[in-house]
Structure formats: C-alpha cells, structure tokens
Structure 1
Amino acid sequence: MSRDASSTSSSDRLLRPRRRALLGLGAAGLLGLSGCGFRPLYGRADPVDGAVAAELGAIDVARIPERTGQLMRRALQQRLWAGGQSSPRYTLTAFPSFGVEQEGIRPDGLPTRMRYTATANWWLTTNEVPPQPVANGTERTLDAFDLPDNQFFAADAARDAMVTRLVDQMADDIVTRLAVRFRGQDAG
C-alpha cells in the first residue's frame, strides 16, 4: 500500500457523516431535556440539588439487627452522607427480611440454584418530640446464586456476594425515594 492510499475503507467514509449526525442529534436531545425540567437526581448544578444533599446528610440511620442489617445500615450511611453529614434532623428506620426459594432441582432432589427475595420496610421520622412521620415505603429486590457440587466455600462466597448486592440495591432504592421526596418538597 502506498503512502497516499488511505487505510480507511469506503464503508467507514460513508458512515462518518451518519455518526456525526447521530452524535449531534443525541447532544440536541440532551439539551432539550434540560428545557423540560429534567435534572440529574444527584447533580450539584443548582441550589435544589445542594438542598437535597443537605437533607440527605441530615438523616441518621437507626441500628438494624443481624449481619445483613449491619451491611444495610452501612450502605445507607454511605449513600445518604455522600454529600457530607450534618446534625441529624431525621431518623431512618429500616428492617430487611429475606425469603429463599429453591430453583433448579437435580434428579436426587438437591437444589442447584437459590433465589432470594429481599424486602425492606422503612420509614423516616423527624427527631422532634414526638417524632413526626416524613416518608415510608417498602423496597423489594431479588437475586440468585448457583450451588456448585462439592464446593462449599464457593457456594458460601456466592451467597455472601448475592446478599451484598441485595442490600446495596435496597439501599439505592431507599435513598432514591428519599431524594425524590426532598426534591419534591423544594420544588413545591
């Protein structure tokens, strides 16, 4: 191939203008979303977002019993206090529970897969005396893991990873609902 010859195929040359047009349309679409009131939930572009982060930072998470409760409390604290922690004005109480279901049964009757359904009932109250309810809800999520034959450590590790994923998802859902609630208060 000579130095003057291009290594780009003719089909690539034909697609370049289309790609530019699609990128331009995508950018225009994103700019159009800002005109209809769309804002990222956790962004810091305007004072409302800072106000939401301040409200989330003022939430204290009550202790949750058992190991999964400890994991959930830590996950909630990390998400709520991501913008900084201030003196608590609210208390978040959550109670996770787990249901287990066997899937993929072998001919000898042993399961080859376990599915967990996690449910977290939660409520947010003020720290006033008496406490006033602010918000409440129930979050549900599910996940599963395989049970390999004669690999007990692998099954335990897979179960622990799955429980962590479930707890993280429930914490994300709770904090998202709270952020939407506080954003609605600021907008209203």
Structure 2
Amino acid sequence: MSPDASSISLPETRRRLLGGVGLLALGGCGFRPLYAPDGGGAGVADSRMAAELAAVRVGLIPERNGQLLRRALQQRLDPQGAGLPGRYDLRASFRLAADPEGFHRDGTASRIRYTATATWVLLTLGTPPEEVASGTARAAEAWNILDNQFFASDQSRGAAERRLTELLAEDIVLRLALRFRAPTVG
C-alpha cells in the first residue's frame, strides 16, 4: 500500500465513522425530523398529526391580505380536503407595515420593505374554549418601485404581499404541527 492510498482512505474512514456516531448521537437525544415516519408504527404519529391539523378551522381574518392568509392556512392545514369534524378554532390577526429603504435624488422612495405580523391563538371548540397554543409569526419582504411603470410596481407589491402571507401561513402551520406532535396535546 502506498503512503498516498493510506492518507486518502484514513480521512474517508474517519468521515464515515464520525457520520455514524453523529446520527447515533442525534437519535439518542430524541431528534426526529418533523415529517419523518414514526419508527414504531409506520407513520402513526404522522397520520395523527395530519388528522389534528385537518381538524383546525380558521376564523375570518379582515381585509384582502387577511383573506389570503386564511386561504393559505386552510390549504396547508387540510391539503387532502379530508373534511374532518372541527376540533379547534384558529384565530389570527394580520398586520402589515411598510418602510421606505431606498430613495431617489428627489426624495421619493425607490424601494419598500414590508414587515408582516400574524398573531394567532388556537382554541378548542368546547364550551368554554380552552387555549391550546398561541404565537406570533413574522416575515419580511422588499420590492422596488420602478420609475414610470405603475403596473410593474403594482405587480411587485402584490407578489410581495402574497409571498408574505405564504411565509406566515407556513410558519403558523409548522408551529401547530410541532405542537400536535408533542405527546401532551389533547
């Protein structure tokens, strides 16, 4: 065996060994990817979590961006359209703030930064309703204001608002999925 061959194989062996040890260490601490099948029952935890998410009803959210957020939440909570009976009520509010970031020489804004905030609470549908989870989701997006191109600027603004609602919905559903994956939900 040449010295070059041993120097190449040693780091590769070490890398494999350390990779295996790293996976064992993560498994020992209880780490498990959110959407990975449950080791004990071939997706039992995932199907339970999906059923819990599908049982969430989203309340009305005022204004156009609130409607977009509600629709994005509904699509993520029940993507298969299972139509399970509701067990939870998700109430959310939507707030959008705009800040100018760039300026032309005449002082008009050339770039706008939107910051969207959704405050939400998940309640049971029982009487009286009990709070299951709550939180705040935030997302930021920016777009350029083009000179003498109102249509393009308006399209950029609309696309930024849609991206913000999608980001907020993804964050809220991820937090709900983590809550439903916890063993103490009920």
Figure out how many residues of one structure are paired with residues of the other and give that number. Answer: 176
1:75 aligns with 2:72: yes
Shift of 1:82: 2.9
Match of 1:182 in 2: 180
Q: CA 1:22/1:52 → structure 2, altered by over 3 Å: closer, same or farther?
A: farther
Q: Hey, what's the Cα distance between the residues in 2 that align with 1:159 and 1:48?
A: 40
Match of 1:150 in 2: 148
1:113 to 102, 111, 114: 111
Q: CA 1:91/1:18 → structure 2, altered by over 3 Å: closer, same or farther?
A: farther
User: What is the RMSD of the two structures over their aligned residues, measured on CA atoms?
Assistant: 2.7
1:48 to 34, 40, 45: 45
Q: Hey, what's the Cα distance between the residues in 1 that align with 2:163 and 2:18?
A: 32
Matches within 5 A, 1:118-129: 118-129=116-127
- Normalising by structure 1, we get a TM-score of 0.81
Match of 2:129 in 1: 131
Q: Give the letter aligned to residue 88 of structure 2.
A: Y
Match of 2:3 in 1: none
Q: CA 1:77/1:21 → structure 2, altered by over 3 Å: closer, same or farther?
A: farther
Unaligned runs of 5+ in 1: 1-15
Q: Give the letter aligned to residue 161 of structure 1.
A: A
Shift of 1:47: 2.0
Shift of 1:85: 4.0
Identity %: 48
1:86 aligns with 2:84: yes
Shift of 1:53: 1.4
1:33 aligns with 2:34: no
Q: CA 1:23/1:163 → structure 2, altered by over 3 Å: closer, same or farther?
A: farther
Conservation of the 8 A alpha-carbon contact between 1:72 and 1:171: yes
Q: CA 1:22/1:164 → structure 2, altered by over 3 Å: closer, same or farther?
A: farther
SS of 2:176's equivalent in the other structure is: helix
Q: Hey, what's the Cα distance between the residues in 2 that align with 1:25 and 1:161?
A: 47
SS of 1:107's equivalent in the other structure is: coil
- Normalising by structure 2, we get a TM-score of 0.81
Unaligned runs of 5+ in 2: 1-7
